[in-house]
């Protein structure tokens, strides 16, 4: 694991994992701000990249107290989950560790719980 990054293997393809994440976010009423298709954008300019998609999502109710306490946290918020395929065809999910974000931005430790959703969604989507 890279410092501050959590990683988990998925039992599903990139597209299926992303679809599962989108369905969970919608079901929980969590706003999906953007879905960045890095591999699709690479293909659009003639480059090859394994399937790689980034979901940017969150809840102002959870994120705002963190950004009020530490404005620099807005560099890492809203939450993100990266879903990418490895050279061996394995699908991996990556997200920022909440405790690492707390140490990086110096917001009160008790607010780290507001960031737990990324890991919970990643685990559920990975199956």
Per residue in 48-63, pLDDT tens? Answer: 999 999 999 999 999 9
Residue in this structure with the two tokens 């394994």, named with its chain if needed:
50
Residue-level pLDDT at 81? 98
Query: DSSP string of the chain?
Result: --TTEEEEEESS-HHHHHHHHHHHHHHHT-EEEEEEEHHHHHHHTT-----EEEEEEE-HHHHHHHHHH-GGGGGT-SEEEEEEE-TTS-EEEEEE-HHHHHHHHT--GGGGGGGTHHHHHHHHHH-
Structure tokens belonging to residue 114: 């507001």
pLDDT exceeds 90 at position 85 = yes
- What digits encode the pLDDT tens for the residues 66-80? 999 999 999 999 999
pLDDT at 92 over 70: yes
- pTM of the full structure: 0.94
């Amino acid at each position: 694991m890279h410092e501050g990054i959590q990683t988990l293997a998925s039992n599903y393809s990139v597209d299926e994992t992303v679809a599962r994440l989108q369905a969970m976010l919608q079901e929980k009423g969590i706003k999906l701000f953007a879905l960045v298709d890095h591999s699709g954008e690479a293909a659009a300019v003639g480059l090859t990249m394994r399937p790689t998609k980034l979901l940017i999502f969150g809840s102002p109710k959870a994120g705002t107290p963190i950004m009020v306490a530490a404005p620099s946290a807005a560099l890492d918020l809203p939450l993100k989950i990266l879903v990418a395929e490895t050279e061996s065809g394995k699908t991996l999910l990556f997200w920022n560790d909440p405790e690492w974000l707390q140490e990086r931005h110096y917001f009160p430790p008790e607010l780290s719980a507001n960031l737990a959703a990324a890991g919970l969604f990643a685990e559920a989507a990975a199956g």
